[in-house]
Amino acid sequence: MSFQKSILFPCLLASAAAVYGQEKLGEGMLTYAVTISGKVPTPANEPALTEAKSGILSIYVKDNYVRQDIKLEDGYTYSRISNYITDKDIILQTINTTHYAIEIGMKEERKKNIAFLNATLEPGRSRKKIGDFEAQEAKLQYRDGSTFQLYYIDRYTLLHPEVFERSPELNGIPALFDIPGSNGFSTHFELKTISPEPVSSSVFQVPEGYRIISRKEYEKLIR
């Protein structure tokens, strides 16, 4: 899952050897607790202030469809519907009470995240319970020398792990990780539930009342 307010979707991890007994989560829902925190600019003579906001990230999967919804405590919402058959994303936004479904080609997004491909997954020594699952500590070593720390669950795999931008080839599901933002804030994600249950196809449809537009049209609207 990039967007405003320093939230970076999770799209996380690199390839690893197949784990015996893994299950493919072809349909179901993942729920994460999200916390955004960072230093708020203050006058030079005043002590620094830390701001934190919490929320929920819900990820719905059904074969070649994925939907991500974020809801923060301050009322901010963000939704992205990914169709891996048409290779397009739809981002739902409201501008001046008008609802828009912004269509974005996935190829554009993949180019931005190419640095996260072909990473080396280095397992850590510890495991910890996160939600109802045991999670494995690990580090991703990227080709440019940078690293990414996380815990992941190796019981399940996803058909489209690239939904987590920093681990697009992970043989598992990210469970605990932090993503830094460009403005000094960081976003903490912690997996709460995995529900391997049927998901209605309507979840992945553009809601009634939304006007479908291109990214270029959207950029003109917000200038």
Residue 55 lies in a domain: yes
- Amino acid at position 220, single letter: K
* 18 in a structural domain: no
Predicted pLDDT at 19: 46
> Quick one: average pLDDT of 155-178?
96
> What tokens appear for 206 in the block?
């553009």
CATH number at residue 88: 2.50.20
- Confidence (pLDDT) at 168: 95
Is residue 220 one of the residues assigned to a domain? no
Residue 223 lies in a domain: no
Reported as a pLDDT band with limits 50, 70 and 90, residue 44 is low
For residue 171, the enclosing domain spans 23-215
- Does the CA dihedral 150-57-14-146 come out positive or negative? negative
**Edge to edge, what strands does the sheet with 211-214 contain?**
120-130, 133-141, 147-153, 173-180, 186-195, 27-40, 49-62, 65-72, 77-83, 88-95, 98-105, 211-214
Q: Does residue 203 register a pLDDT over 70?
A: yes
Structural tokens at position 94: 């409201």
d(CA 49, CA 142): 33
- 94-113 tens-digit pLDDT: 888 899 999 999 988 888 88
Is residue 8 over pLDDT 50? Answer: no
Hey, which of 32-46, 77-91, 106-120 has the most confident mean pLDDT?
77-91
In a domain, 6, yes or no: no
pLDDT, position 15:
36
Chain length of the chain: 223
For residue 99, tell me if it sits in a domain. Answer: yes
Query: What is the percent of the chain where pLDDT is above 90?
Result: 70
Is pLDDT at 4 greater than 70 in this prediction? no
Q: Does a structural domain hold residue 222?
A: no
Q: How many domains does the chain have?
A: 1
- Range 19-45 average pLDDT: 84
Q: Give the H or E element holding residue 65.
A: strand 65-72
> In the chain, what is the greatest distance between 2 CA atoms, to the nearest angstrom?
58
> Whole-angstrom Cα distance, residue 164 to residue 1?
6
d(CA 155, CA 23): 6
* pTM, 2 dp: 0.85
Name the residue among 148, 144, 127 with its Cα closest to residue 136. 127
For residue 16, being part of any structural domain is answered with no
